[in-house]
Amino acid sequence: MDTSATIAFLHTVADAVDALTLERYERRRLTVDTKPDNSPVSDADRAAERLIREYLERDFPGDAVYGEEEGGSLEHAPRRWIIDPIDGTRNYVRHNPVWATLIGVEENGQMVAGMASAPALGRRWWASRGNGAWLSENGGEPQRLRVSDIDRMDRAAFGFSSLSSWDETGRMDTLIAFARATWGTRAYGAFWPYMLLAEGAFDIAAQPGLDVYDMAALVPIVEEAGGTFTSLEGKPGPWWGSALVTNGKLHTAAQAIINETHMQPGSGEETRPDNRN
């Protein structure tokens, strides 16, 4: 796939979806249901995914698609588009601006391109393999992203998304250990800690209880910015139900904290991932 054409297509789709989601967000009239995992879904989530799929059906009719709201298959396919139409639905329905549309492109098991567009924040991040990671603020000129050079845990900024997922997967000891070991801890929700890491504002971000659509678009952005993206067990990619994301220099030390705390009594076993965003 021509990576420049892929990114141009992603921008076109993101422009259309941003117009839809932002209009409904600002109007503050949403129909909100509760899914079986107790997470919310709005009519805007469903409409956004349907719009993305319409673009894909028109321009890439032979490609596989997997999305949060309409599902799909994760069986092997030459190319797959992985969609989270609104990552941060809890924020979206409460008029908190930290939400984004995430679209990742997978080829033969590898994430090769991704875009995260957060119109209420006026920010859009994207990347493709070998072409760097980029940020545009309020439609301005793209800025190339680079992770931080912090190489000590006691100087590291740590971010996560949801306290409940740490609790429900029996990993509160790990979260507390990160808070004690690092310079500062912040919880901004959904996709944002990982994008702040790609910008160099965070040095470590981690979260259990994720699904592939929560992470797929973010992997190439983080990695093209120079970071490392694995599961909490150290497996690469977005496939394993959790995320440990670092600037690369701190990955071994962060993994050691996870390994040490998860082996202790009361740490529990990792459960099937759910969506807490």
| Residue 200: pLDDT over 90 | yes
Query: Does residue 194 or residue 38 have the better pLDDT?
Result: 194
Domain 153-263 in this protein, CATH class = alpha beta
pLDDT-derived band at 5 (thresholds 50, 70, 90) equals very high
Cβ 210 vs Cβ 240: under 8 Å:
no
Read off the pTM.
0.92
- Tokens for 99? 């939400």
List the chain domain ranges: 3-144, 153-263
Domain 3-144, classified CATH 3.90.1150.10, yes or no: no
Nearest to 132 by CA among 225, 31, 251, 42: 225
Ligand-binding site membership of 84 (annotated): yes
Beta bridge partners of 104: 82, 114
Residue 86 known to bind ligand: yes
Q: Does residue 87 have a known ligand-binding role?
A: yes
Mean pLDDT, the chain, whole residue set: 93
Cβ-proximal residues to 48 (8 Å cutoff; 6+ apart), any chain: 17, 20, 21, 85, 86, 101
Average pLDDT for residues 222-244, to the nearest whole number? 98
pLDDT at 268 over 60: no
- Candidates 152, 126, 142, 34; CA nearest to 89 is 34
Average pLDDT over residues 159-173: 95
82 is in an annotated binding site: no
User: What confidence category does residue 263 fall into, taking pLDDT thresholds of 50, 70 and 90?
Assistant: low
